[in-house]
Amino acid sequence: MADKKYLEDFEKKIKDTIRDYHLLSKTDKIIVACSGGKDSIAILYLLNHLGYNVSALILDLEIGNWSKKNLKNTQIFCKTHNIELHRISAKKELGYSIEHLMSCVKAKKAVENCTVCGVIKRWLINRKARELGADKLVTGHNLDDEAQNIFMNILKGNPSLSAGLGPKSGIEAQELFVQRVKPLYFCTDAELRKYTEIMGFNILYSKCPLSSAVFRRGIKNCLDNFEKDYPDVKRNIVRKYLKTKPALVKAQKSKEKGNIKRCSICGEPARAEVCKACEFRKIAVDTNE
Ligand code: SF4
């Protein structure tokens, strides 16, 4: 009985977020970016259950058994729930493994694995979602992720970087970017864990073996500790941010006016002559020569 109430409340929270922030409509062609983890599987299940026109897209990073297990779980999940699944292989798209790219870039630049991986994931997933004709790209970002992002940008001394956060990503619609939306925006990590456990989804809860986000981990630990003494601290950070977002967007829009162009190498959207993904790929190519 308690579980039934929990599931109803959880589902209502997602429906409210979608409605209040105009995230999705029943006529949208929706792609859910799936990692096989709890967040993306939860939102894939719910959107399908609520009758949205949804299919899944998994970027197979081919990081050993961790990726194999996540891919297998996602394939079984999609088959069970009759959801179309698209797979892209990072290795096939790049011509080498993501681990190789990380080591080449890190030999030249002071960046973490997750920075390299994040750039490549956004580049490949946006391109594939656009090819598939998606109207919306759903990601599994939750309240913990968002509070960490906001806090990280403040500690980096650059809160304006948060202008593109929020339930709808980006500061304004761009032709080449499929609109990213986050229906799990107000759900915490703990709530999602509980939801997926009650639902009995087959999920690998262990972390990616290449995760290296030292700064993010520090922020996460800090917020988790704060939350013990000051419940709702994460929610308060996000609520406060949403109030200041319009001013951040306004300032950022005037800065970025006409700044988004096409990358001279791949033709994808870029803020510079060459996009970040091509900059990293070029380092790997130069290293191999
Ligand atoms: Fe990539 Fe980091 Fe995520 Fe692993 S944890 S999949 S390296 S972004």
How far from 127 is each of 38, 204, 205, CA to CA, in Å?
Answer: 24, 27, 28
Q: pLDDT tens-digit profile of 66-90?
A: 999 999 999 999 999 999 999 999 9
Evaluate: CB of 113 within 6 angstroms of ligand 1.
Answer: yes
With contact defined as beta carbons under 8 Å apart, do 61 and 70 qualify? no
Q: What string of H, E and C letters represents the secondary structure of the chain?
A: CHHHHHHHHHHHHHHHHHHHCCCCCCCCCEEEEECCCHHHHHHHHHHHHCCCCEEEEEEECCCHHHHHHHHHHHHHHHHHCCCCEEEEEHHHHHCCCHHHHHHHHHHHCCCCHHHHHHHHHHHHHHHHHHHCCCCEEECCCCHHHHHHHHHHHHHCCCHHHHHHCCCECCCCCCCCCCEEECCCCCCCHHHHHHHHHHHCCCCCCCCCCCCCCHHHHHHHHHHHHHHHHCCCHHHHHHHHHHHHHHHHHHHHHHHHCCCCEECCCCCCEECCCCCHHHHHHHHHHHHHC
What is the rounded distance in angstroms from the CA atom of residue 129 to the CA atom of residue 63? 22
Ligand 1 centre distance from Cα of residue 210 (Å): 6
Cα–ligand 1 centroid distance for 225 (angstroms): 24
How many CA atoms are closer than 13 Å to the CA of 171, on its beta-carbon side? 20
pLDDT at 183 over 90: yes
Distance, CA of 283 to CA of 187 (rounded, Å): 38
Domains and CATH numbers, the chain: 2-288 (3.40.50.620)
Instruction: Please enumerate in sequence order all residues whose Cβ is within 8 A of that of 169, keeping only pairs 6 or more positions apart, or say none.
Output: 139, 179, 180, 181, 182
Which of 62, 117, 121, 145 is the best mutation target for the ligand 1 pocket, counting ligand atoms within 8 Å of the beta carbon and taking the most? 117
Q: Which pLDDT does position 9 carry in this prediction?
A: 97
Q: Is 111 in the pocket of ligand 1 (CB under 6 A)?
A: no
Beta-carbon count within 10 A of 67 CB = 21
Structural tokens at position 75: 């394939």
CA pair distance 37, 195, nearest whole angstrom: 13
> Of all residues in the chain, what percent carry a pLDDT higher than 70?
99
Whose alpha carbon is nearest atom 8 of ligand 1? 114
Strand partners, 168: 181
- Amino acid 252: pLDDT: 85
Q: How does residue 224 score in pLDDT terms, banded at 50, 70 and 90?
A: very high
Residues forming beta bridges with residue 180, ordered by sequence position: 137
Report the C-alpha gap between 107 and 111 in whole angstroms: 9
| 12-68: pLDDT as tens digits | 999 999 999 999 999 999 999 999 999 999 999 999 999 999 999 999 999 999 999
Q: What is residue 261's predicted lDDT score, i.e. its pLDDT?
A: 84
pLDDT for 228-256, tens place per residue?
A: 999 899 999 999 999 999 999 988 887 77
Q: Is 44 in the pocket of ligand 1 (CB under 6 A)?
A: no
Q: How far apart are CA 24 and CA 178, in angstroms?
A: 13
CA of 98 to the centre of ligand 1 (A): 10
Positive or negative, the CA dihedral 95, 101, 103, 104 is positive
Q: What gap in Å lies between CA 29 and CA 18, rounded to an integer?
A: 15
**Residue 182, amino acid:** K
